Amino acid sequence: MLDINKAVNQLESQSHDLEGNLEGLPAWSRAIAKQHALSEGLGELSDTQWRVIYSLRGMYRKQGRAENARQVIKQLESDFTEEGGRKFLYQAFPQGPVSQGSRLAGIPAPPYATDKSFGSVA
C-alpha cells in the first residue's frame, strides 16, 4: 500500500520511486541491496538470489523497463529452471520475484508487478 508520508519523503530524494525502487542502475550497489534484503527480512542473500538480482539488472540494462511483470517472470522462470523455476523464485523472494527482486536490483519494477487490490479487507 502506498504510504503518503513515504511518498512525500521520497520526493526530497529523487533516487527512489514511490514504491521504494531505486530509479536506474547507477544509484545501486551490493551494499544497498544487502541493506534492503535485511530490512525486508530476507537475511543474507544466497549466491542464487544474487544471480536473480543480476539477471534482473541485465534485462533492464538490455531492454529498459519491461512492458509488464509477466514478461519478466517468464524470462526468470526460463533462466532458473534448474533451480526450480517459479517455485524457487517465490521461495527466494517471498514478496514476489519481480517486485521484490526489482527493489533489491535497484531497478523500477514493471507495471503490474504487484496487485495492490489483492488481499483481505479485514
The contacts of residue 17 (CB under 8 Å, 6+ apart) are: 10, 23, 108
pLDDT band at 113 (very low <50, low <70, confident <90, very high): confident
* pLDDT the model gives residue 26: 63
Show the cell assigned to 116. Answer: 495492490
* pLDDT the model gives residue 110: 86
Q: What is the CA radius of gyration of the chain?
A: 14
For the full predicted model, state whether its pTM sits above 0.75: no
Instruction: Assess whether pLDDT exceeds 70 at residue 120.
Output: no
| pLDDT tens column, 41-84 | 999 999 999 999 999 999 999 988 888 889 999 999 999 999 99
